[in-house]
Amino acid sequence: MSTSPKITVATTWLDGCSGCHMSFLDMDERLIELAQHIDILYSPLVDNKILPESVDIGILEGSVSSDEDVEKARAFRKHCKILISLGDCAVNGNVPAMRNHFKLADVIDHAYRETATLQAQIPTQQVPALRAIVQPIHAVVEVDIYVPGCPPSADTIWYVLSELIAGRQPNPSAVTRFGA
Ligand code: SF4
């Protein structure tokens, strides 16, 4: 692995469960070695909440379910040289896309009225507007690397980042399969 300059990384989640980010943390002691090669400039895992103008690697977890998700995906595409779809939700919609079998109005009604035990009402403020269907990230922006898995294992994430740090193109399909 090269030692300098450090590769800059940004991560965020769209419509996901944060499990892919937890898998990132599951690299455990390898995070220490990783920290010698990368700087995480923006992420739910770090304090900085302003996406820098230019980042080497952007990592997106989760599918595109709301207008806010579209904005985040476009911002990452604009500011990141390499964009990674991390996890099955990002790659193919996965769990969030299960709602695509139902009308959006019915989904919202079920979530906020039918199953509510207190103050049943549909929120109109502070909640991003949902899109009619859930889509994978590559439906709204170009993706460079797809990393399937629910979540991808820590070993897989380590492999992908190690290859990129070494200046090689990773081949995640060689070490992953959907849902595993
Ligand atoms: S791929 Fe799995 S672990 Fe990752 S955000 Fe989706 S449901 Fe969670």
Q: What is the pLDDT of residues 129-157, one digit of tens each?
A: 899 999 999 999 999 999 999 999 999 99
**pLDDT given for residue 3 in this prediction:** 54
Please say whether the dihedral angle defined by the alpha carbons of residues 63, 17, 46 and 156, taken in this order, is positive or negative.
negative
Distance 150 CA to ligand 1 centre (A): 5
> Which domains can be identified in the chain, with CATH numbers?
7-97+134-174 (3.40.50.700)
Query: What is the CA(106)–ligand 1 centre distance, in A?
Result: 24
Residue 180 has pLDDT above 80, yes or no: no
Q: Please list, in sequence order, all residues whose beta carbon lies within 8 angstroms of the beta carbon of residue 30, skipping any fewer than 6 positions away.
A: 154, 158
**What 3-state DSSP class applies to 160?**
helix
Residue range 16-37, pLDDT digits in tens: 999 999 999 999 999 999 999 9
Instruction: Name every protein residue with a CB atom under 6 angstroms from any ligand 1 atom.
Output: 16-17, 19-20, 61-62, 87-89, 94-95, 150-151
Nearest CA to ligand 1 atom 5: 16
Query: Contact at 8 Å (CB) between 69 and 96?
Result: no
Compute the distance from residue 15 Cα to the ligand 1 centre, in Å: 9
Confidence of residue 125 (pLDDT cuts 50, 70, 90): confident
Three-state SS annotation for 11-30: EEECECCCHHHHHHHCCCCH
Ligand 1 nearest atom to the CA of residue 151, by list position: 3
